[in-house]
Structure 1
Amino acid sequence: MIDRRSFTVGMATTAFAGLAGCARMGGMAARSAAPSTALVPDPAGLLDLPQGYSYRIISRMGDRMDDGYVVGDRADGMGCFPGGNGRVILVRNHELQARHHDTGPFGTRAVPTSYDRSADGRALPGGTSTMIYDLRSGRVEAQYQSLAGTIRNCAGGVTPWGSWLTCEEDVTRAGSGVSRDHGWVFEVPAAAGRLVDPVPLTAMGRFNHEAAAVDPATGIVYLTEDRSDSLFYRFLPDRPGRLAAGGRLQALALDGVDDSRNWSGAALPRGTSLPARWIDLTGVDSAQDDLRQRGHRAGATLFARGEGVHFGNGEIYVCCTSGGAAKLGQIFRYRPSRAEGKPGERDAPGSLQNFVESDDPAMFNFGDNLTVAPNGDLVVCEDQYTDVVDNHLRGVSRDGTLYTIARCRLQTELAGACFSPDGSVLFVNLYSPAMTLAISGPWAAPRRTG
């Protein structure tokens, strides 16, 4: 059960630049301070941003796409790829379930290529949509459905070889209103130009997948799981860049710390780093949805709702939505071994640090998707679990300082934050009603603290 905490009103808002009112999150508790500069209220009532930043809506739920389908609702994780000649390609998840046909992309239209269908024969509405966007003109040049027939495509991750790993946050079994098992990762080439053949990457495990991140130096894939008793996984591919060829799935373990959530005492205090080891997992198709429990019994460490994971600055950042003593969220930083995934790793292991742990909802409240900005800071999307929400984009500097980048004025979550390859534009989704925004501004500028 997710603890639906009471909502704290009057959140402090700060600008992306000129931020004296920050909270340091290394080895001390977060403290709110009066903002040095207020965000500029959006006349459209959508997204407040600092002075010098602006957004445009580039795609909305219900927009007609080039293939005759429409943009579905519940836009979640998203990846951005170079498209050549000033263009980028965005691959966007839609966290739609079987009951969401009315807000999905297809309606009653035929779908030639679908992983699964509901009992009435219709393609399941979950999947991905792809758009080609011109950074110079600010126009979407093409938009189409790229994956169909999956359930609750939550987050995912980009690969160095130009594809998007889209993850099902659902473990519905065949016979429960659908004909196939769910809970898989699928790969969508960014430049596919059409619906792709949906092939589940079963060696990467069947569980409540959230996000994925690939280390370009090794091809190893790191995976999160959205459960209150989740594990943090890595996939060692037999052939880097060819995930369908199989590999080994492992879970992270910290000696002496079998629970990183800090719900009952600070087992892993803020700022603490510990050497990591990895445990091989068996039965990864997990028909009983017990992979995390078996992994924990074998020694793997528990995490609190692992969500966003991203590779940047040579490290892996992992957001745990309800982690920490206050259950407001944690961010872990995993530093890979020089021999990551190889025999020498035992002698020089990677390390995991409790990088951020919030105790102040005004500074960090239920972080979800995250990415790395051109200046090296993190950008984190909030997804609060309260009846009334006040979600923000939060920034985290390299030393763990928190600040506010933007405030969403609608009652929905922010999701899918990703930067254009040149760092000039941050793309982000509003979950429902689905919209994709392109935010321009001086993203590469160092953040000032005074």
Structure 2
Amino acid sequence: MERRNLLRAAVLGGSVAALGGSLWRGAAYAAPAQPGAGPYGALGSPNANGIRLPSGFTSRIIARSGQTVPGTSYTWHNAPDGGACYVDDGGGWIYVSNSEINPSGGASAVKFSAAGTVTAAYRILSGTRTNCAGGRTPWNTWLSCEEVSLGYVYETDPWGVNAAVRRDAMGRFKHEAAAADPVRQVVYLTEDETNGRFYRFVPTTWGDLSSGTLQVMVAGTATSGSFTWANIPDPDGSPTTTRTQVSGSKSFNGGEGCHYADNTVWFTTKGDNRVWQLNLTNNTYELAYDDSLVTSGTAPLTGVDNITGSASGDLFVAEDGGNMEICVITPNDVIAPFLRIDGQSGSEITGPAFSPDGRRLYFSSQRGTSGSSSGGITYEVTGPFRS
């Protein structure tokens, strides 16, 4: 999974550039990431928000479920989940966040000034169910995914101006996350089933998700090898589920987060605590992390969930459970905790996303200290992130 010595510029805000990346090294597969000293040092004591951070980092609470977002009149949604950031006018930015409740669900947004002050908050999607993760597009929309049987993908406007549109062509299944690949002009999709599949959607026209072809990854049963794509005959998933329509499609145990950068796509599977890596220039796949393959000490990452990347090529992976950490996987294949939330063992960390300048990391504790969907807390961490 070697990712060093590669061009590293983030896919952040509205600009598109290479981030991280991977080189295929002949027939040899790199060992998955192993625990080691992280690039930010040890975690400190819990701060006033109950978050353990490395030296030089601080946190603040942006919003709480059921309460008015400070500086606005908008009430923040319950069970905040997947999220992403967008460049706004005047040097500001927007953070969008899904709501993983059923019924209602949907998604909201918080707008920031160039100084980081909250200036507005508002609803961008309503009337949907269990909106878990999703993904941002290069044309600055947010794909919000329903994690229910025969769920849909909704394309939404982070500014809240244009009405959300249901994208039926992207298939009906238990959607989790999405990641856009501007090179191949496709969108990758994960499925949260114990025998879920990994998909890609090929739009008829890039930038327009109203029509296209849904495909599924076809590969062997091993944890590394080569793969191909096959068309899903019936994307609406009825009467035959999309995951059972193509013989030879590869099964994944609980697909979760998904992240694309520099001809590589990473996605997580919670059922076996793995981070998978697809090397798209070679059509090969391997494990970037597997807790059962940690060779010394205790596996630092369990309950793998949402995933994002930074300008340095670091991957940040959030835990659903575990000990409530976001862990970093470096380009040198070292994994270490980046932060930990104390006193919220009944929750999960969701929605990690960097501000366009890469200096702030947003995420939520979905159920907060209460352990209930009405107790969600959305945070911002600021500090010397690597560039």
State the one-letter code of the partner of 1:443: F
Per-residue deviation at 1:70?
Answer: 1.7
State the one-letter code of the partner of 2:111: I
Residue 202 of structure 1 corresponds to 168
Matched, 1:436 2:378: yes
Alignment partner for residue 234 of structure 2, among 277, 283, 290? Answer: 283
Alignment partner for residue 53 of structure 1, among 45, 50, 57? Answer: 57
Determine if contact 1:26/1:399 at 8 Å carries over to the other structure.
Answer: no
3-state SS in 2 of match to 1:146? strand
Determine if contact 1:372/1:379 at 8 Å carries over to the other structure.
Answer: yes
Residue 317 of structure 2 corresponds to 380
Alignment partner for residue 301 of structure 1, among 250, 259, 272? Answer: 250
3-state SS in 1 of match to 2:244? helix
3-state SS in 2 of match to 1:243? strand
Residue 219 of structure 1 corresponds to 185
TM-score, with normalisation over the residues of structure 1?
A: 0.72
Per-residue deviation at 1:438?
Answer: 1.3
Determine if contact 1:207/1:289 at 8 Å carries over to the other structure.
Answer: no
- CA distance 1:362–1:69, shift in 2 (3 Å): same
Quick one: distance in 2 between partners of 1:420 and 1:31? Answer: 27
3-state SS in 1 of match to 2:106? strand
Matched, 1:248 2:210: no
Task: Name the stretch that deviates more: 152-161 or 26-35.
Answer: 26-35
Quick one: distance in 1 between partners of 2:65 and 2:32? Answer: 42
**Percent of aligned positions that are identical:** 32
Structure 2 gap segments, 5+ residues each: 1-28, 368-374
Matched, 1:417 2:352: yes
Matched, 1:94 2:94: no
Quick one: distance in 2 between partners of 1:333 and 1:398? Answer: 13
Structure 1 gap segments, 5+ residues each: 1-24, 99-124, 172-181, 260-266, 324-328, 338-348, 446-450
Residue 280 of structure 2 corresponds to 336
Residue 40 of structure 1 corresponds to 44
Determine if contact 2:32/2:289 at 8 Å carries over to the other structure.
Answer: no
Residue 73 of structure 1 corresponds to 78
Per-residue deviation at 1:287?
Answer: 2.5
Deviation digits for residues 258-295 of structure 1 (CA, Å, limit 9, x no counterpart): x3xxxxxxx32xxx4x2220011111111246211223
3-state SS in 2 of match to 1:292? helix
Matched, 1:150 2:128: yes
Residue 120 of structure 1 corresponds to none
State the one-letter code of the partner of 2:176: E
Calculate the aligned-residue CA RMSD, in Å: 2.4
Matched, 1:132 2:111: yes
Per-residue deviation at 1:135?
Answer: 4.3
Per-residue deviation at 1:27?
Answer: 2.3
- CA distance 1:398–1:38, shift in 2 (3 Å): closer
Determine if contact 2:180/2:186 at 8 Å carries over to the other structure.
Answer: yes
Residue 310 of structure 1 corresponds to 259
State the one-letter code of the partner of 1:378: L
Q: List aligned pairs for 1:364-379, cutoff 5 A.
A: 364-379=301-316
- Residues matched between the structures, number: 345
3-state SS in 1 of match to 2:245? helix
Quick one: distance in 1 between partners of 2:38 and 2:148? Answer: 41
Task: Report which of the two structures shows the higher radius of gyration computed on alpha carbons.
Answer: 1
Residue 202 of structure 2 corresponds to 236
- CA distance 1:36–1:162, shift in 2 (3 Å): closer
3-state SS in 1 of match to 2:159? coil
3-state SS in 1 of match to 2:243? helix
Per-residue deviation at 1:222?
Answer: 0.2
3-state SS in 2 of match to 1:126? coil
3-state SS in 2 of match to 1:166? strand
Residue 190 of structure 1 corresponds to 158
Determine if contact 1:58/1:139 at 8 Å carries over to the other structure.
Answer: no
